[in-house]
């Protein structure tokens, strides 16, 4: 299974338009933004796992990261974004179970 191509948009409330903020966002799944809107919890595809091929073959691995919002909305390549972000959990198979993640105050 290969992730479908996706882009990121941000809803601009003043103009009621969705300007695009990242052309290639296929590797990213945003789970939550911080209350101050400066950071995001993001599942990032970090590679492929061929150690346990099933009948569908190798699969993708994802890892939860804390990412600066400005970095996420830039055109940084995935590798540079991974290097600038903070990993928060071990890698898990993609697609994984749906989780709800939020921020504690």
Is it the case that residue 93 has pLDDT exceeding 90? Answer: no
Identify whether 99 is part of a domain: no
Which range marks the domain in which residue 84 is found? 21-94
Q: How confident is the model at residue 80 (pLDDT cuts 50, 70, 90)?
A: very high
| 41 in a structural domain | yes
Please indicate, yes or no, if residue 101 is contained in any of the structural domains: no
Instruction: Tell me, yes or no, whether 30 lies in a domain.
Output: yes
Give a yes or no: residue 59 inside a domain. yes
pTM reported for the whole predicted model:
0.78
Is residue 100 a part of any domain in this protein? no
Residue 25 belongs to a domain: yes
- Cβ count within 10 A of residue 93: 13
Give the total number of structural domains in the chain.
1
CB-based burial label for 12 (10 Å; 0-12, 13-18, 19+)? exposed
Is residue 50 a part of any domain in this protein?
A: yes
């Amino acid at each position: 299974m290969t992730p479908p191509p996706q882009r990121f948009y941000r809803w601009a409330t003043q103009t009621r338009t969705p300007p695009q903020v990242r052309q290639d966002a296929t590797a990213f799944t945003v789970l939550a933004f911080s209350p101050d809107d400066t950071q995001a919890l993001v599942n990032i595809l970090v590679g492929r796992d061929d150690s346990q091929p099933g009948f569908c073959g190798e699969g993708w691995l994802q890892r939860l990261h804390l990412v600066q919002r400005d970095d996420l909305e830039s055109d940084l390549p995935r590798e540079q974004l991974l290097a600038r972000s903070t990993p928060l959990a071990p890698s898990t198979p993609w697609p994984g179970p749906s989780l709800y993640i939020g921020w504690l105050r």
